[in-house]
Copies of this chain bind each other. A is one copy, B any other.
């Protein structure tokens, strides 16, 4: 492997000092045009690429940011488009800023220390934490260590850390209101885990609309998996056969619920209307297609990245969600 040329070589070839070459490479304005051009030519002729390690060493910047998924790795990239959307958004923004994206999937086993060690040792200019559990200690720890941190999802413990969250409450409200407006009387909910902010907020949205529309709530809790949706639906039907609509806290469970309804001989949407949350691809393939709430995941990734890169002010941001009406709530 031919040794990569150093700045020194470039400077020599261009007949200037290393300092000047550095200035040109870094786009300083204070260089005479013909010298700049000479250096630029030398760079191209030699195929010079700056050594990031050397640069980092002196600038104390790493020009890379970490994207951390504290979930057990196995669950992270399943069917959930949230994660992929975030990755895409982050990736685009990072790429635009000409920085690097370091991906860290921390399993349960000591991955924490690893992230902490890595992030606090200057490897990284900032950390984006895609946490689902609002109680994660990692963001706080890193922030205290002086590492720029931005979270996806509002921490359940109030804190001053910047985050980008989806409007789960608003999305759930719109979804349930849609059911109310469709004339549904007995609207149940299948909630998600109540230790996740998404689970909590979506249930809160459901509750708030039911209260306003003077209906009694009836709730079963699942764990965001399809099977738990099926089980929850069966329980709801057993509890109250009069149910004519169900708001489900995510699509996977909604698909499971649809199965349970079919097995129970209830037609969707004629007998029971169904709304999900997330808009996973399978939602639109379902039969009938699932009405659901879409989240701007890619936008979330972009905002997260821009904040951690200091391209926009670090703040606590709430992104709007959107109701996607399909066949599971409206007869064709």
Q: What is the interface of chain A, defined by CB distance below 8 A to chain B?
A: 1-2, 4, 49-54, 56-57, 62, 64, 67, 73-74, 76-79, 81, 83-85, 87-88, 91-92, 95, 98, 100-105, 107, 111, 114, 117-118, 120-123, 145-146, 226, 255, 259, 280-282, 285, 287
**CB-based contact A88/B79 at 8 Å:** no
Q: A59: nearest residue on chain B (CB-CB)?
A: B53
Tell me if A84 and B88 are in contact (CB < 8 A): no
A83 partner residues in chain B, CB cutoff 8 A: 77
CA distance A200 to B4 in the complex (A): 39
Q: In the assembly, how many copies of this chain are there? A: 2
B53 & A4 in contact (Cβ 8 Å cutoff): no
Contacts A51-B122, A104-B101, A146-B2: A79 and B281 contacting too (C-beta < 8 A)? yes
Contacting residues, chain B, for A101 (C-beta < 8 A): 102-104
CA distance A57 to B6 in the complex (A): 12
- Contact in complex: A73, B53 (CB < 8 Å): no
B residues near A74, Cβ cutoff 8 Å: 88
Q: Which residues of B contact A79 (CB under 8 A)?
A: 79, 81, 280-282
Give which listed residue, B56, B67, B77, B285, contacts A226 with CB less than 8 A.
B285
From B51, B77, B100, B123, A87 is in contact (CB under 8 Å) with: B77
Judging by beta carbons under 8 Å apart, are A92 and B73 in contact? yes
Across chains A and B, which 5 residue pairs bring their CB atoms closest together, nearest first?
A1-B146, A77-B84, A49-B121, A53-B56, A103-B103
Measured between beta carbons, the chain B residues less than 8 angstroms from A53 are: 52-54, 56-57, 62, 122
Contacts of A107 in B (CB 8 A): 92, 95
Tell me, rounded to whole Å, the shortest Cβ–Cβ distance linking A149 to chain B. Answer: 13
The CA of A147 and the CA of B79, in the complex, are separated in Å by 33
Q: Are A117 and B78 in contact (CB under 8 A)?
A: no
Give the chain B neighbours of A103 by CB distance below 8 A.
Answer: 67, 87, 91, 101-103
Let me know if B105 and A123 touch, CB within 8 A: no
